[in-house]
Amino acid sequence: MNDTLVTLVGNAATGVEFRETATGGMARFRFAVTPRRWDREKQLWADGHTSFYTVWAWRTLALNLSGSVSVGEPLVVHGRLKVREEEREGQRRTFVDIEAVAVGHDLTRGTSAFRRVMRGEPALTARVGSADRADGPDDTGGPDDPDGPGGAGAPDASGGSRGGAARSGSRKPTGRQKAAPELVSAP
């Protein structure tokens, strides 16, 4: 198998579109890569031409992408390069796709909190405030709810999540997870 594997560093240009298919989940989003070069004469960084790619993901990666990536977030995408040509409206067009093997946040530009997803826990892949959350209809979002308004899972002004690590400790541990140690304050 002679696939061309590439690793790209850039930003999510669109939201992740997720669909269930007969073979499992499928997700896609547009990815923007802009090279930056140091201009010695002007003594500052200059942006180059932006290239756009369509990133495709399947099954578990697709589901996790839909719950983890938003527009504008810096990402690292690793996958198979696919170049195809189509004729649309009498013009020949070239499309560059990446069939993703792995996608992650670019930690040179921020922090991220990893949450392992166990099978049967779809709520961990749902975005905060998403209509397809698996928490159920009795989710009131009260002050004690970590995902409610102002809770630990609520987004902050930067679009990130406050206290994302606290959220993972609020779930019951499964056989592969260790229980978080309980914090006890001294009287």
Per-residue pLDDT reduced to its tens digit, 26-65: 999 999 999 999 999 999 999 999 999 999 999 999 999 9
φ/ψ of 63, rounded to 5, equals -65, -45
Tokens of 27: 């997700």
Residue 115 has what pLDDT? 87
- Could you tell me the pTM of the whole model? 0.61
Alpha-carbon distance values, 86 to 4, 56, 100 (Å): 20, 18, 22
pLDDT digits (tens, 9 = 90+) for 112-122: 888 888 766 55
pLDDT value at 123 more than 50: yes
Buried b / exposed e over 17-45, threshold 16 CB at 10 Å, is ebeeeeeebbbbbbbbbeeeeeeeeeeee
99 forms beta bridges with 56, 80
Locate the DSSP E strands across 22-176: 24-33, 36-39, 44-47, 51-58, 74-88, 91-105
Which is it for the CA torsion 128, 133, 134, 139, positive or negative?
Answer: positive
How far, in Å, CA of 30 to CA of 72, rounded?
11
Q: Are 76 and 23 within 8 A, CB to CB?
A: no
Q: Which residue in the block uniquely carries the two structure tokens 């669109």?
A: 14
